[in-house]
């Protein structure tokens, strides 16, 4: 048993000294350009994961994996430009809501002018 204790004690001493030894490491400063480029690249890749976008690519004969490979092959400037275009796209329901409001206003004006009688809360001019 004393031999076993000596082996364990020597192993613990060795481990204690090993903890104090410096390990090789490298730390580099990560610029904001790299961070924004990664964020924009992930934004474009997330856009490609949407079902409607994937369906449009497949309708044109491009698989989802091929589209992602093409995005990964783009330079940072190209990805930034593409992410900017994605940000400028209209949201899904904006066009429909605008059209409904326009139709409501047109019907309201024609109702007030007496050309139609759609809304019971308006009084016609005639």
pLDDT digits (tens, 9 = 90+) for 26-51: 777 767 777 677 888 888 888 888 88
**Terminal-to-terminal C-alpha distance of the chain:** 113
Instruction: Give the per-residue pLDDT at 105.
Output: 75
Of 109, 106, 44, which is closest to residue 76 (Cα–Cα)?
44
Residues 84, 90: contact at Cβ < 8 Å? no
Instruction: Give the per-residue pLDDT at 90.
Output: 62
Contacts of 114 (CB under 8 A, 6+ apart): 124, 125, 126
- CA 110 – CA 101 distance, rounded (Å): 14
Instruction: Give the per-residue pLDDT at 101.
Output: 74
Instruction: Give the per-residue pLDDT at 30.
Output: 67
Instruction: Give the per-residue pLDDT at 62.
Output: 77
Q: What is the pTM of this model?
A: 0.46
Contacts of 80 (CB under 8 A, 6+ apart): 36, 37, 40
The stretches in the chain having pLDDT less than 70 are 1, 30, 35, 89-98, 124-126
Across the chain, where does the E strand assignment appear?
none
Q: How long is the chain? A: 126
């Amino acid at each position: 048993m004393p031999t076993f204790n000596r082996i364990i004690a020597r192993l613990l001493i060795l481990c204690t000294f090993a903890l104090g030894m410096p390990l090789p490491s490298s730390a580099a400063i990560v610029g904001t350009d790299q961070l924004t480029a990664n964020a924009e690249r992930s934004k474009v890749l997330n856009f490609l994961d949407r079902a409607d976008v994937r369906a449009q690519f497949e309708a044109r004969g491009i698989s989802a994996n091929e589209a992602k490979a093409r995005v990964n092959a783009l330079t940072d400037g190209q990805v930034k430009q593409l992410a900017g275009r994605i940000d400028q796209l209209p949201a899904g329901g904006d066009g429909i809501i605008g059209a409904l409001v326009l139709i409501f206003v047109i019907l309201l004006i024609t109702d007030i002018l007496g050309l139609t009688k759609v809304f019971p809360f308006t009084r016609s001019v005639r």
